[in-house]
Amino acid sequence: SGGTVIVQVEYLAEAGSIHPKEVKIPGILVDYVVVATQQDCCWQAEGVYYEPSFAGHLKKPLSSIAPLPMSERKAMARRAAMELRAGDVVNLGVGIPADVANVVTEEGFIDSITLSAESGAVGGVPSPLPNFGSSYNLEASMTHGDMFDLIDGGGMDITILGMGEADQYGNVNVSRFGQRLTGPGGFINITQATGRIVFCGSFMNKAKYEVRDGRLVILEQGDKRKLVEQVEHITFSGKYAKPAQEVLYVTERCVFRLENGGLTLTEIAPGLELEGDILANMSFSPAISPELREMDAALFHEAWGRLGESIRA
């Protein structure tokens, strides 16, 4: 396009000394090479200068990956993990979905499924922020383009993605909030091509909780509803979801399923009231499943140990 290409590097190498298959940007496309003079110019990921297991240079003991502290966030990640099945190829999004990798690792089932990130990391344990996009002990590192060929071709069995806000029609917004335009990333491709989708997000903005004795205790309701009448921006359309797709919406307070062009409430966290804690803090009235039940109380205990019951189903 007539622009100037500047490549920042950590070290200079003599021309022709790098194996041709390791060269991803041919020299004919580069105008200038700049050698970084400070170490912090060439971080491997946003949160770490160099993690050898991200690069495939060694395998990190899984016992060294600290479990998540118990919280409503961990309960959500556990509930999302219950949708995984042995043999699944899984795409994980940023935020709470990335915590699912930690849960699966803690529960000892990381070898039963293949976790991936849209950046191209396949296998291992995807890292949450600030290193999202990297994976501990990855099995393969695909190019970004090849990963999306796999995604667009239906190669993912299930995806677990974030949910900024959702509405009565099952639409999800993660891309625009007021003047803040974050963009969709790979969200649209992934949700259009994957048969099973789990959206994860908090029920209200800035709500405060305690997880106590298998129950969710609300300390403060929150200052903004995230289950709204109409999302500000449609990143996933419930209306245009394929009939064969299974779509679940997991929050800390309850679980919804996409049915008949709208949200149906199917589960409620133990310790909460349907009217006062759920319906009164939504901007629409969802359908209520005749089989409405409590979320498994074990999700809200310090130790869980029940992922095997669902992942082998």
Q: Active-site positions?
A: 118
DSSP 134: B
Phi, psi angle pair for 296, to nearest 5°: -55, 120
CA-based angle 103:252:291, to the nearest 5?
A: 105
3 state SS of 44: coil
Amino acid at 246: E
Q: Return the structure tokens found at 105.
A: 């690792």
DSSP 69: P
CB 130 within 8 A of CB 195: no
Q: For strands 89-92 and 125-126, give the pairing.
A: unpaired
Phi, psi angle pair for 287, to nearest 5°: -65, 145
Q: For strands 224-225 and 204-205, give the pairing.
A: antiparallel
Q: How far apart are CA 172 and CA 247, in angstroms?
A: 11
How far from chain centre, in Å, is Cα 263? Answer: 21
